[in-house]
Amino acid sequence: MSAQLPKGRAPSIRDVARLAGVSHQTVSRVLNNHPSIRESTKARIMQVMEDMQYRPNLAARALVTRHSRTIGVLCAAGAQYGPANSIAAIEDAARAAGYYVNTANLAAVDPESISGALRHLMDQEIEGLVVIAPQVRVFDVLAKMSMDVPYVSLQSTAAGGHRALSGDQIEGARLATRHLIELGHQEIIHVAGPQDWIEAEARMQGFLDEVDSAELQTHPPILGDWTAEFGYHAGRELLSTREFTAVFAANDHMALGLLHAFRDAGRDVPRDISVVGFDDIVDARHFCPPLTTVRQDYAEIGRRAVSLLLGEVDGDPVVSTEPIRPVFVIRDSTAPVRARGPSPLRKRY
């Protein structure tokens, strides 16, 4: 059918109408899901649009309908495993619902950059916003801005009248720490994420809660930056300054760096030191050794975000905001503690 068009010109709504044998107003009603169109007519028009590879002009539709059918995503770290997977799920779910996604990645997280990215999204006439920037300063800026669209945040806590979706960060950290304790480890170090990240704070809290419940000595957590490079240097430093038998890293990339540092120093994992990560990135099973870690369902979090946001847009929020329980995955990077030296240190009162 597209062969009937002048060469080099994209099909228009009037081309669709002509080939489907209907008026362009009828095609417009189909595009806007008007209930008055018969199913047979709708099916014929949809088939013509598919055959012609017709794509509606979003700007024109927004002017006519006052709806852009666009969701904005504000992301502070698109290169990180969790945000990247959540965005992919958001795009799939939005597309299935007839929506488009416009993503603004923050190069920096200063107030000017955050407010600028938000203004950019609002200029696109978005109908709702997903925030994948779990840093306190992002929500400080949001609280000061006049947001006239609903928004949902991922991997944060609900505040400021919005809804939050996340995996249960505290429970995941407790599962990781409990696993090490049950293997007999009592000198456990936590390599945490950046201090201003809400999810890093929650994982550190879970670690401290579990250590406290077991009445073990609390070693000061080390604040990292999510990267394998930091994990490597932290591992080298730990070996020269601390006595420990296990490390719980706040994400798998820092755990990878730790494994590298311990191997370079001639320490065997898990015979000498056990290591646990968090996220279960796709390569975690191929680390040397394969990494014991906490798996989060980022795809489900992304799908729920779209359902919740569209429910907010339609005035019918029906999606549960209960934290999604993580799954603990045991591989080869953890083992029972080896008996060595004096009895382990206990919590001091």
> What is the model's pLDDT at position 188?
98
CA distance 22 to 12: 14
Please calculate the CA angle 284-286-289 and round it to the nearest 5 degrees.
Answer: 90
Residues 134 and 183 both lie in one domain: no
Residues 188 and 214 both lie in one domain: yes
Residues 160 and 175 both lie in one domain: no
Looking at the chain, how many residues does it have? 349
| Domains: count for the chain | 3
- E-assigned strands of the chain? 70-75, 100-105, 128-132, 151-154, 163-165, 188-192, 222-223, 246-249, 274-276, 293-295, 327-329
* 139 touches 111 (CB < 8 A): no
Model confidence pLDDT, tens digit, residues 282-319: 999 999 999 999 999 988 888 888 888 888 776 666 66
Model confidence pLDDT, tens digit, residues 156-165: 654 544 578 8
Q: Over 80: is that where the pLDDT of 241 sits?
A: yes
The confidence band for 64, taking pLDDT boundaries of 50, 70 and 90, is very low
The confidence band for 343, taking pLDDT boundaries of 50, 70 and 90, is very low
Model confidence pLDDT, tens digit, residues 145-156: 877 788 888 866
Q: Is residue 298 part of a domain?
A: no
Residues 177 and 211 both lie in one domain: yes
For CA atoms 314, 315, 316, 321, give the dihedral sign: positive
> What is the model's pLDDT at position 192?
98
Domain range holding 256? 169-292
The confidence band for 86, taking pLDDT boundaries of 50, 70 and 90, is confident
Residues 24 and 138 both lie in one domain: no
Q: Over 90: is that where the pLDDT of 214 sits?
A: yes
> What is the model's pLDDT at position 50?
84
CA distance 291 to 289: 6
